[in-house]
Amino acid sequence: MPVYEFVTVWRVKAPLNKVWNEIYYSEKWPEWWRGVEEVAELKKGDELGVGSVRRYTWKSMLPYRLRFDIETVRVEPMTAIEGIAHGELSGRGVWNIKVEGDHVTARYDWRVDTTKAWMNLIAPLARPLFKWNHDIVMSWGAAGLAGRLGAVVIEEKESREYNHLPLV
């Protein structure tokens, strides 16, 4: 299966707690993040949310939806959230959030493979399209966060493409 690795960095001129809350409470993403159609809690976690499982339904520029579950495996308040994805995408995502000078940096590392047969079949030709699509969805998130917080969000993207590396 093809492996995709994306790094997105949002630089936000807003208080740390406001940026943290918008990212941490992902059940509210459909209110501000275009493309996030639904976030449904399947299992509650501990007091920080570790062990929780949420199902995410995304719709993007391309004519399909993706649904996958993310189990939260680590939460360091105001600093980091890590989850393992299962379903139509499989892999790991990590938010790292920190104050840097006059802004908050929110970095998302997303390393996944696709489990849909048709996506894997066309991956050799469609990889650039899948990367473009991911970048659009993350841009929608940056714009939504900016609007939600009344702040400017500067977005940086870095994508790496791997064909046959195992997920860690």
Spatial CA neighbour of 66 closest among 93, 42, 37: 37
For residue 74, being part of any structural domain is answered with yes
What is the mean pLDDT of the segment spanning 21-37? 98
Q: What is the 3-state secondary structure (H, E, C) of the chain?
A: CCEEEEEEEEEECCCHHHHHHHHHCHHHHHHHCCCEEEEEEEECCCCCCCCCEEEEEEECCCCCEEEEEEEEEEEECCCEEEEEEEECEEEEEEEEEEEECCEEEEEEEEEEEECCHHHHHHHHHHHHHHHHHHHHHHHHHHHHHHHHHCCCEEEEEEEEEECCCCCC
122: domain CATH number is 3.30.530.20
For residue 11, being part of any structural domain is answered with yes
- Answer whether 2's CB lies under 8 Å from 114's CB: yes
For residue 142, being part of any structural domain is answered with yes
For residue 122, being part of any structural domain is answered with yes
What would the pLDDT profile of 84-108 be if each residue is shown by its tens digit?
A: 999 999 999 999 999 999 999 999 9
pLDDT tier at 35, thresholds 50, 70, 90: very high
Tokens representing residue 53 in the block: 């499982």
Q: Whole domain around residue 158: which residue ranges?
A: 3-162
Q: Is the pTM for the entire model greater than 0.85?
A: yes
pLDDT at 120 over 50: yes
For residue 66, being part of any structural domain is answered with yes
For residue 26, being part of any structural domain is answered with yes
Query: How many folded domains does the chain comprise?
Result: 1
What is the mean pLDDT of the segment spanning 113-137? 87
For residue 19, being part of any structural domain is answered with yes
pLDDT at 160: 59
**Residue 100 burial (10 A CB sphere; 0-12, 13-18, 19+):** exposed
CB neighbour list of residue 25: distance below 8 Å, 6 or more residues apart? none
- Answer whether 20's CB lies under 8 Å from 98's CB: no
For residue 168, being part of any structural domain is answered with no
